[in-house]
Every structure is written in C-alpha cells, then in structure tokens.
C-alpha cells in the first residue's frame, strides 16, 4: 500500500509571497529575518497563534492595514486555504508561518509585537493531556519577552477550566495585568469589538458561552 502524502504540503510552495515554513531549526534564522524585514513597512506587528482557517486573521488584516499580521498555524490545509483567501481579498499585510506556536520567542525578536491573539487552542481536557496545552507558564514567559511594553495578549476559549487556569497563571506574572475578562463574551462590553472565529460562530449558534480575557504587558 502506498503511503498517503498530504497534498497540501507541496502546495504551500505555490504561495511564497505569503507562506514561510519552519520545517527544521535551521529555518528559524531566515524566517526571523524575513519577518523583521517586512515589518519595517508597517507601523505595528501583530501575531495570531493557532490561526486556523484564517477567519479572524483575515478580518484583522482588513481592519488594520497599517499592521503586519503574522499567523502561525501547523496544519498544511488550513494555512494554504488562508493564503488563498488572502489573495482573493487582495490582502498583502499578512505573513503565514507554518510552524509550532511554541517557537514564538525563536521567531520574533524581543519586544517586537504589539498584540498577540490565541483563539480556541486545543483545551486538552483530559488530566493526563493538560501538559500539552499551549497557554502555559512557559508560553506566558515567551509572551512577556516578545510583546512590547503595553502590548497585549488576547485569549478566547470554550473551556471554562482552561480559561480559569490561564487567569491563575497570569496572576503569578508581575509582567502582565488582566485588563478585560468575561465568562460570556457575547454578553460583555467587548462583544461588539470582537472578531468572531469559525469556532466562535459555531459555539454562538449553539448558545454556548465563550470565555475571553485580555492581558496587557506592564512597562518594564
């Protein structure tokens, strides 16, 4: 039986103007330099980790044409589809990076990001899996390094337990101050400004709550 090969792996090469890849550690230096060079043309640099199929990222890029929006996503199909949609919309202020989100501090230099979004990362609900969660002590340490002073981190999840664990970890960091949080985003003061993701639309259609927080990095 022939080994199945993901057809979207080679297709990423069709979008070199939008897609960068970290397949090996040796790729990091070139990726970091490419992002640094492109960011010089923009007033702000914003990152979305786990950018999925790009609904949130593309709308963010449309609303903020003076910002470079960097999406980090691991799945080949999702990142390619996002690139297709970006081309259809004529959006050029985007970089799509096929990489692990845990490499955040290897990808960006210190104090280079104005905003970081993390929408609906896998909650890994079983106890033995919780160590796999993205938003952890180590990830928050990376965030505190790459965010500019007064830059912010935005997090949405459908898991109350995950949400509460992130709030708890943030409370231990003097580098962060939680400036907004809600157990039901749709009924909060931040509902209108929120850009919905594909998951968010699904959960809202089912009447399920979305947990939301925004944490600001304190000035040094």
Residue 208 lies in a domain: yes
| Over residues 47-60, mean pLDDT | 95
Terminal-to-terminal C-alpha distance of the chain: 58
* Between 92 and 1, the higher pLDDT residue: 92
Give Cα 167 to chain centroid, integer Å. 18
Using DSSP's 3-state secondary structure scheme, residue 162 falls into helix
Q: Is residue 2 in some structural domain?
A: no
- Cα dihedral 83, 88, 94, 98, rounded to 10, equals 0
pLDDT on residue 157: 93
Q: Is 24 a catalytic residue?
A: no
Q: Is the model's pLDDT at 124 over the cut of 60?
A: no
Residue 1 inside a domain? The answer is: no
pLDDT band per the 50, 70, 90 thresholds, residue 123? low
Q: What is the CATH number of the domain that holds 150?
A: 3.40.50.150
Q: What is the pTM of this model?
A: 0.93
Residue 136 · residue 174 · CB < 8 Å: no
Note the pLDDT of residue 99. 96
- Per-residue pLDDT at 204: 83
In a domain, 3, yes or no: no
pLDDT of residue 57: 97
Q: Which of 23, 122, 158, 192 is catalytic?
A: 122
In which element (H, E) is residue 47 found?
Answer: strand 44-49
Strands (E), 74-210: 94-98, 113-119, 147-157, 176-182
155 is a domain residue: yes
How does DSSP classify residue 163?
H
Q: Does the structure show a pLDDT above 80 at 160?
A: yes
Q: Show the domain range for 213.
A: 8-217
Q: Is residue 65 part of a domain?
A: yes
* Kind plus residue range of the DSSP H or E element containing 48: strand 44-49
Q: Looking at the predicted structure, is the pLDDT value of residue 129 above 60?
A: no
Per the structure, the count of domains in the chain is 1
């Amino acid at each position: 039986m022939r080994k199945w090969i993901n057809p979207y792996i080679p297709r990423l090469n069709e979008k070199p103007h939008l897609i960068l890849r970290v397949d090996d550690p040796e790729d990091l230096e070139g990726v970091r330099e490419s992002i640094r060079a492109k960011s010089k043309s923009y007033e702000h640099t914003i990152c979305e980790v786990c950018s999925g199929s790009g609904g949130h990222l593309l709308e963010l890029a449309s609303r903020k044409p003076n910002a470079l929006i960097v999406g980090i996503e691991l799945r080949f199909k999702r990142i390619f589809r996002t690139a297709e949609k970006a081309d259809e919309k004529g959006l050029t202020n985007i970089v799509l990076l096929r990489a692990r989100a845990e490499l955040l501090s290897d990808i960006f230099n210190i104090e280079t990001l104005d905003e970081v979004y993390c929408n609906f990362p896998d909650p890994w609900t079983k106890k033995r899996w919780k160590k796999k969660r993205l938003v952890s002590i180590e990830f928050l340490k990376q965030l505190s390094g790459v965010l500019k002073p007064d830059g912010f981190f935005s997090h949405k999840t459908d898991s109350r337990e995950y949400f509460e664990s992130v709030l708890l970890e943030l409370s231990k960091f003097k580098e962060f101050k939680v400036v907004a949080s809600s157990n039901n985003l749709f009924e909060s003061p931040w509902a209108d400004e929120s850009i919905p993701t594909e998951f968010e639309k699904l959960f809202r259609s089912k009447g399920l709550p979305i947990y939301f927080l925004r944490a600001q990095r304190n000035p040094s």
